[in-house]
Amino acid sequence: MKTPALIASLVAGTLITGGGLALADVREARTVTPFHAVEAHSAFEIFIEVGEEPKLELVGRSEALATVISEVRDGVLTLRRKSTRGDSGSVQVHISTPTLDALETSGAVSVTARRLSGKSLDVEGSGATQLTLAGKVEILKMDLSGAAEVHALALEAARVSVDASGAADVKVRATEALDVDASGATSVRYAGAPKSVNTETSGLSSVSPI
């Protein structure tokens, strides 16, 4: 006779795969036209691979994927979710694009972007945004608010500018110049030994080398 604990264990085993995704999760590939910028407004876990052909794939429960609206307009891929009653579940978004020069997020969005390259990258983040960026660009511009968290030590940039407010936590790498305008309880830490560092802070904000 199976004990309640054993039954619960067996049920859990049928729901979870080795990768941590429920077996009920499905993958949905969506057709997209070429784009060079991404906007995400809502709760998403996004993975971006730069240097590949345009691709968009969603992972999650079917009812969660049904809430996702995706469209490309004027070279910008926009992602958002319809309002629903209750929690329809989390959604992973896997994106590929030959180039990426702009990223805008709001809400509880997590973004991991790899192999970034090119002349410039403009980043706008608000709310509980979490960004992890890697690659090499000439110019990195960031406009952040709320509890934004940016891990960009793996993104080498010649010139970096950060405009942040609220409780933003930012780590960047600049090799030539760093300009920071920070307010609230913002923390900016930097690597790369930039030759020029210009800062303007207020409140409990701080700027310091790593």
pTM: 0.86
Residue-range domains of the chain with CATH: 25-209 (2.160.20.120)
Contacts 24+ apart (CB under 8 A), 163-168: 164/188, 164/205, 168/144
Nearest to residue 116, comparing CAs of 98, 135, 101, 132?
Answer: 135
For residue 138, what are the CA distances in angstroms to 24, 26, 116, 188? 43, 38, 11, 19
One pLDDT digit (tens) per residue for the chain, 210 residues: 444 444 344 334 334 444 445 558 999 999 999 999 999 998 999 999 999 999 999 999 999 999 999 999 999 999 999 976 656 789 999 999 999 999 999 999 999 999 999 999 999 999 999 999 999 999 999 999 999 999 999 999 999 999 999 999 999 999 999 999 999 999 999 999 999 999 999 999 999 999
Q: Do 146 and 126 touch, CB atoms closer than 8 A? A: yes
CA distance 56 to 70: 9
